[in-house]
Amino acid sequence: MARSLVALTAILAVASCIASSEAAATAPQTVAFLHNVTTQTQQLQPTADSITLQTGVLLVIGQGPYRDIIVGLTNIIQTETDFLLSNKTEKPSSDSCPASLPYAAKAPGTGTLPAADQTSIYNAFRDFVRVQQTLLNTLINRAALFKTAPFIGEPMVTVLTQSQNSFDRLAFSLIDLCPTKATDLRVLAGGLSGTYKSAIENYAGLSLGGNRKLLNVAA
């Protein structure tokens, strides 16, 4: 009986580890997800380019490019959240995963992704960061068109803050997933976080009567 319980415990531990692995996103899935959010971001660029003094104020009646930017960023946040919730990248603990479990079956967070896959994920993330940088820099520049516009500043600060938080969670997940590219990923993430901070400060300034500064970060 005791021997059977030990065997059952071992089977359950292995099954748990394999389940964690199967729930983890594969490299192609991760790259496809990054391409998706990159495309969503690119689609917002013409909208950001169209912001003027005349079109920007339309947000007060729930219309205009700022409304579309807020909706678009919210959709990107949702896409990122869905991906992170449905794909585990955590490392399985050594207590729950026997050393005898096949190497390839361990969760990606252990660093078992092939180097080529990690590079593919990094390249896709780099493209995502580049288009996000471009979009945010455009939004920063458009904020300078307005002196005091809390009806623009407040909702933009809210969505930009949520977007930055979502991006940070994604970046941390990818850094854990791709240890061979961790340093490069941190550099990219740090640069975009700085641009987010600048964008938030500029739109917060619209509620404070123009106490803003332009801080663009090169893509």
> Residue 50 is part of a domain; what is its CATH number?
1.20.58
Which pLDDT belongs to residue 209?
61
Summarize pLDDT for 164-207 with one digit per residue, the tens.
999 999 999 999 999 999 999 999 999 999 999 999 999 999 98
Residue 52 forms part of a structural domain = yes
**What pTM value is reported for the model?**
0.77
Contacts of 152 (CB under 8 A, 6+ apart): 56, 57, 59, 66, 146, 203, 206
Angle at 209 between CA 206 and CA 211, to 5 degrees: 80
Measured CA to CA, the distance from residue 106 to residue 100 in angstroms comes to 11
> Which range of residues forms the domain containing residue 198?
25-93+109-206
Mean pLDDT across the stretch 143-150?
Answer: 92
Give the number of domains in the chain. 1
Q: Is the residue at 72 inside a domain? A: yes
For residue 184, tell me if it sits in a domain: yes
Q: At what angle do helices 115-143 and 182-206 cross, to 10 degrees?
A: 20
Angle between helices 65-86 and 150-177 (to 10 degrees): 30
Average pLDDT value for residue range 147-162: 96
Token pair recorded at residue 79: 């896409």
Instruction: For residue range 40-82, list pLDDT tens digits in order.
Output: 999 999 999 999 999 999 999 999 999 999 999 999 999 999 9
In a domain, 76, yes or no: yes
Q: What pLDDT sits at residue 24? A: 66
In a domain, 4, yes or no: no
Residue 197 to residues 8, 44, 116, 157: CA-CA distances in angstroms?
52, 19, 32, 10
